[in-house]
Structure 1
Amino acid sequence: MKASMAEWAYGVAAKELAEPLPRRWAHSHGVAQRAQGLAAAVGGDAELPVSAAALHDVGYAPRLAITGFHPLDGARFLRDTHAADERLVRLVANHSLALLEAEERGLRDVLETEFPLLEDQVLVDALVFCDMTTAPDGGVTPVEARLAEIAARYGADSLVGRFIRRAEPHILTAVGRVEATLAAQPR
């Protein structure tokens, strides 16, 4: 029996992250668990955000870190090694406002050319929400605490610190849209 996309994604992410980067795997696993709770918000595409959530940080795996920009490295790995679903690859490449970080790294044109942003704002927002409300240990955290943790971990003046400052209003807007959608769902 063929594995579902989500089962396959969990397997790939665990293989690449669990041993070399257990904390990163805990975060990715937590992000995927958050995505499972968004089925009503994303409609018929519930498996896609769960899969993207499990794989969003796969590019941090030491053997995959070619450019040092994990969204690009992860997306290339999924495309080139696994011939993964194009929408999945594009979500991984562009998760959590990656275009802004790519710009800081001088890689925006590369990322945009190879992996154009999906036009499905619901899926893009869902992945932002899941990533930015999950702590490094995989637990649930408020978006403001997650943003502060990222800035503190990397340093306010670092490349990632500059990126997260630029991305913050967009992240807060995306998280707000998902929270509004979830609040409007029948209980």
Structure 2
Amino acid sequence: MVDHFSIWARQTAQTELETPLPRRWAHSQGVARAATKLATLTGSDHDLLFAAAILHDVGYAPRLAVTGFHPLDGARFLRDEHQADERLVRLVANHTFALLEAEERDLRTQLEAEFPILDDQLLVDALTYCDITTTPDGTPTMALARIAEIVSRYGPDTVVGRFIQRAEPEILATAARVERALAAQPR
């Protein structure tokens, strides 16, 4: 059976990212590949996780960057231009502890008001795990190495550098939860 939701998500992300931001597109594809490995964990929500994974960074697309905060810009694009599934939009808006970065940017109140975080901890954790275990080039990595790469690329005293260092304990705890859940899956 063809999953039209996943096809739409992939085409939308590709249209927005492939040409202007090929490295970001490579990362998004890698995050989506990581999501496919969590299918047994996320069950009936697997298509939703895949869509969120491939679209999580769509807000970086130059034509969509209104606030400069990609989770908010991407979620608004998906909501306003595509009338996308509310759960998808909320996952994109809140991926990888976006609320903490929103605080650094004085956008937390806006983000929370428009896109409340999902109460499905497994999906939120799974998307964070897929993002934080994928390099900018789309290859698998460990969460700690990815955090170090982000700090190195952006600098420790930048908005992103401060946010990721602040979020590190929560990110590592999330990665550990997902890895434990994966290990507990029947083989």
TM-score by length of 2: 0.98
> Quick one: distance in 2 between partners of 1:70 and 1:116?
16
Question: 5+ residue gaps in structure 1?
Answer: none
Residue 48 (structure 2) aligns with: 48
Distance of 1:5 and 1:123 partners within structure 2: 17
**Unaligned stretches of 5+ residues in structure 2:** none
Question: 3-state DSSP class of the match of 1:135?
Answer: coil
- 1:71 equivalenced with 2:71 (yes/no): yes
Who is 1:169 aligned against?
A: 169
Is 1:185 matched up with 2:181?
no
Structure 1 residue 6, shift from structure 2 partner: 1.0
DSSP-derived class of the 1:46 partner: helix
The 5 Å alignment of 1:11-90 reads 11-90=11-90
Kindly tell me the number of residue pairs found equivalent between the two proteins: 187
Deviation of the 1:3 alpha carbon: 5.5
Q: Superposed, which structure 2 residues align to 1:103-142 within 5 Å?
A: 103-142=103-142
Which one-letter code corresponds to 1:181 in the other structure?
A: A
Q: 1:90 and 1:8 mapped to 2: Cα distance?
A: 17
Q: In structure 2, how many angstroms separate the alpha carbons of the residues matched to 1:65 and 1:145?
A: 27
Q: Once superposed, which parts of structure 1, at least 4 consecutive aligned residues long, lie more than 3 Å away?
A: none
Report the alpha carbon displacement of residue 132 of structure 1 after superposing the two structures with TM. 0.2
CA–CA separation in structure 1 for the residues paired with 2:45 and 2:120: 11
Deviation at 1:43, TM superposition (A): 1.9
Residue identity matched to 2:159: L
Find the aligned partners of 2:3 and 2:176 in 1 and give their Cα distance: 33
Give 3-state SS (helix, strand or coil) of 2:20's partner.
coil
Q: Give, in angstroms, the shift of residue 182 of structure 1.
A: 0.4
Identity within the alignment, %: 66
- 1 CA distance for matches of 2:186 and 2:76? 39
Which TM-score applies when normalising by structure 1?
Answer: 0.98
Report the alpha carbon displacement of residue 12 of structure 1 after superposing the two structures with TM: 0.2
